[in-house]
Amino acid sequence: MEKKPKETEIGKITHYYANINVAVMELSKGVKVGDSIRIKGHTTDFQQKIESMQEEHEKIKEAKPKQSVGLKVNEPVRQHDVVYKIG
């Protein structure tokens, strides 16, 4: 039996800018560029690697709990979608 990688809830989507494919996520746990995440909601369920993050239009490598960060996403997301860190 294949062991599934552990998924830990790290935040929620608070906003989505469809024209630039950027989601804003409010973090409950830290995350950094290079981490793999899964975004899951009513109509959303996909995985991707974090390629870049921004806070206040500044590129950041790492984000801490309680931070809100902008994130390039590969697919549309919705407000209240849950973000999980994989592994």
**Of 27, 37, 42, the residue nearest 77 (C-alpha):** 42
Give the pLDDT confidence of 57-84 residue by residue, as tens digits: 999 999 999 999 999 999 999 999 999 9
Asked if residue 64 is part of any domain, the answer here is yes
Residue 12: how many other CB atoms lie within 10 Å: 17
To the question of pTM greater than 0.85 for the whole model, the response is yes
Which pLDDT score, from 0 to 100, does residue 28 have?
Answer: 98
Give the integer Cα–Cα distance in Å for 49 and 37.
Answer: 6
- Residue 22 domain-assigned (yes or no): yes
The domain tally of the chain equals 1
CATH code of the domain containing 65: 2.40.30.10
84 phi/psi in degrees, rounded to 5 = -120, 145
Structural domain of residue 66, as residue ranges? 7-86
2 in a structural domain: no
Domain membership flag for residue 1:
no
pLDDT band at 4 (very low <50, low <70, confident <90, very high): confident
Do the Cβ atoms of 86 and 71 come closer than 8 Å?
A: no
53 burial via Cβ count (<10 Å: 0-12, 13-18, 19+): buried
Kindly tell me if the per-residue pLDDT of 53 is higher than 90.
Answer: yes
